[in-house]
Chain A
């Protein structure tokens, strides 16, 4: 890896981590999800600084080419992240539904109560 490429990639990662922190500060990303992404970027940083790790792991696991392993890991990781987002959306939808139902029933009860008092 050329020194220039290494430098650019590191800069890109540092900017990415900065964006995560900024988003957390703006309360648009929770600490929990910030942590996920930060860990991923730090792992990438380590791999850029010590690319030999990738070569060693790939040959140990029997991959013909090191990038194959990287792509596989990346796809699995992204798949997991998307799945957890889907699960979260489902949970939020369920909560949202329950809140709408509870408020609507309460509103009806309240109105009936008012009608009785009149």
Chain B
């Protein structure tokens, strides 16, 4: 079983070395054989330099694509190199590498197609995000429940694993911005299985989130719209 950890990174010069060290550690302790690759999304800081100096495997996008395009590059690379499972793992240090094995097990042994690492179940995570953001996530979780009938709590989590079928699907079709909740709707409507498991998340090491308060209203509308539209158009496909 070939496993690839995809690390999207945009201006993460301060975090990427730490993240890669953790993943190197994981390679030695994991019961699975794991590779990882950083997708440098046209960073304007020294992310590229830091990666190359430290021999971190990195695909440097020749132009900035945004989070969706960057993650999808990882999926395309995985498809090309015949990987069986891909883990999406943030380059800002929010995600805890100790839980990667748990994600893999749910796919490898329990045959789920997508596994989501969740802050909101199991009580492992001290970091739960701000009050406002939690309300927003709850709202999106409800919309997803209404349109697909499946309750996922941490719909915006970017800590997730997918199997080969979904790698193929995502290589063809992946949203450009705010992809996480929409892709859950896509997967469920296509008839794949999704499981949410508890993980620990930290506050980001350095830098700030890409979603500013000003953008958050647009974010809510756009994500709600895309979940609803996905659940309509994808069910018609069947």
Chain A residues close to B by CB (< 8 Å): 93, 97, 100-105, 107-108
Contacts and interface: CB of A to CB of B under 8 A. Distances in A.
B59 A97 contact: no
Nearest to A93: B176
For chain B, what secondary structure do more than half of its interface residues adopt (helix, strand, loop), or is it mixed?
mixed
Given A97-B65, A97-B176, A100-B65, A105 B60 contact: no
Interface of B: 58-63, 65, 69, 72-73, 76-77, 80, 176
Contacts of B72: 97, 101
A105 B79 CA distance: 12
Contacts of A101: 61, 65, 69, 72-73, 76
Contacts of A93: 176
Contacts of A97: 65, 69, 72, 176
Contact of A105 (B69, B80, B176): B80
B65 A108 contact: no
Contacts of B65: 97, 100-101
B4 to A, nearest CB: 13
Nearest to B61: A104
Contacts of A105: 59, 73, 76-77, 80
Nearest to A108: B59
Contacts of B80: 105
